[in-house]
Amino acid sequence: MRAMVLHEQAPVETAPLRLEEVELPDPGEGEIRITIEACGLCHTDLHTIEGDFELRKRPIIPGHQVVGRVEALGAGVTRFTIGDRAGIAWLYGTCGTCRFCRSGRENLCREGRFTGWDVDGGYAESIVVGEAWTYPIPEGIGSVEATPLLCGGIVGYRALRHTEPGAGKRIGLYGFGNSAHVTIQIARHLGCEVAVFTRDPDHQRHAEELGAVWVGRVPEEPPFPLDAAIMFAPAGQLVPPALRMLDRGGILVLGGIFMTPIPEMEYLPHLWDEKVIRSVANATRKDGRELLEYAAMIPIRTETSPFPLEEANEALRKMKSSAISGDAVLVP
């Protein structure tokens, strides 16, 4: 099968991914093989490819927002049949026995394995995964359109859950990319009022179209204090002003896997009055299942820009420079 393979980490401007013919993987016991119809690009891919994260497998096929159809079954598979639509997310598997796994916090498992980092991912024509870690994709959602839901969507949903959303809750979103444009649709469905902080004029217009009651940029302030906020922008310097925007008892959720250093800040204006800071680490399968239920129910609409598989380097370059309208998706 064809795949875009990373042998050495390097800036995406140097085109580090190579189009190669690699062996078609066979599913083992409890596994399925999926013919990939679409694989979304994520900023975590950039961190992996450019060297912000140490490679756990070399060479590696990146990509962890995968949608396709089941083409082969391993022994003992019961949840899927040939031809079913299926999706794969960032979390590829855990130990299943540690105290985190046993308490519904499998996202914190120290033995967790991740798609496109520990095992070959979705920048390819096929992929193998355990059926227990695979999501049925609801009808009515196209394969390309579903890919942003499987990483940014799931993590955004988990971050939103940590804000304790509900009718009349005032929530701020910092940054308006992959995660935020899905999160705002769920927040509005739950009756929240959403304020969005973003510098990009196109993102500002998009936020207004999706129902934001206020749109601006830091250091501008919305006309009301916030009950909670989610920091999608990986900019640590925004944490202190975001905390100042919170009302008493407010919650700030840090939704990224990477963030620049957070500066020193004063206790009274930033943290007193029982304000809370929480981070989000990966997501559980429960988060993914609930997110996909909302996606079909609301329904959630995503904006995507498809690219052929062999143009992965170009798509990554454009994503890095914010030169793409919507989320970049590879279509083998």
Q: Helices 201-209 and 178-189 meet at what angle, rounded to 10?
A: 20
| Structural domain harbouring 133 | 2-140+299-331
- Residue at 123 is within a domain: yes
For the chain, how many structural domains are there in total?
2
pTM, to two decimals = 0.93
Looking at the structure, tell me whether residues 257 and 303 fall in a common domain.
Answer: no
Cβ atoms 49, 316 nearer than 8 A: yes
The verdict on 157 and 133 lying in the same domain is no
DSSP 90-116: SEEE--S-SHHHHTT-GGG-TT-EEBT
Residues 6 or more apart from 132 whose CB is under 8 A from it?
30, 79
Q: Residue 91: which residues within 8 A CB-CB, separation 6 or more?
A: 106, 107, 112, 113, 114, 115, 133, 282, 283, 284, 285
Do 123 and 60 sit in the same domain of this protein?
yes
Residues, the chain: 332
76 and 6 co-located in one domain: yes
> Are 95 and 180 within one domain?
no
Question: Same domain for 159 and 136?
Answer: no
Regarding whether 98 and 169 lie in a shared domain, the answer is no
Question: Between these two residues, 178 and 279, which has the higher pLDDT value?
Answer: 279
Among residues 161, 172, 278, the alpha carbon closest in space to that of 229 is found at 172
Measured between alpha carbons, how far apart are the two ends of the chain, in Å? Answer: 10
Would residue 91 count as lying in a domain? Answer: yes
The yes-or-no verdict on residue 221 having pLDDT over 80 is yes
We report the CATH number of the domain holding residue 54 as 3.90.180.10
Closest CA to 44 of 316, 278, 227, 302: 316
- Percentage of the chain with pLDDT > 90? 93
pLDDT above 70 as % of the chain: 100
CA 171, distance to chain mean position in Å, is: 19
Q: Which residue has the higher pLDDT, 123 or 54?
A: 123
Nearest to 27 by CA among 149, 126, 142: 126
Stretch 99-128: mean pLDDT = 97
Any domain includes 43: yes
Pair (134, 166) in one structural domain = no
3 state DSSP class of 291:
helix
Kindly state whether residue 145 falls inside one of the protein's structural domains. no
What is the CATH classification number for the domain harbouring 229? 3.40.50.720
